Amino acid sequence: MIKISQRVQIADNELEWQFIRSSGAGGQHLNKVSTAAQLIFDIRQSSLPEFYQQRLLAKADHRITKSGKIIIKCQASRSQDANRQTALEQFIALVASVGHTAKKRVATKPTKASQRRRVDTKKQRGATKALRQKQF
**SS3 breakdown of the chain: % helix, strand, coil, rounded to 5?**
40, 20, 40
pLDDT in tens, 45-99: 888 888 888 888 888 888 888 888 889 999 888 888 899 999 999 988 988 888 8
Three-state SS at 13: helix
CA angle, 19 then 23 then 27, to 5°: 105
The proportion of the chain whose per-residue pLDDT surpasses 70, expressed as a percent, equals 97
| 81 within domain boundaries | yes
| 131 within domain boundaries | no
Q: What is the DSSP letter of 74?
A: E
| 105 within domain boundaries | no
Three-state SS at 43: coil
| 82 within domain boundaries | yes
| 18 within domain boundaries | yes
| 119 within domain boundaries | no
Give residue 117's pLDDT. 98
| 112 within domain boundaries | no
Task: Tell me the HSE value of 63 on the side-chain side, using a 13 A CA sphere.
Answer: 19
Residues spanned by the domain of 23:
2-97
The domain total for the chain is 1
| 55 within domain boundaries | yes
CATH number, residue 78: 3.30.160.20
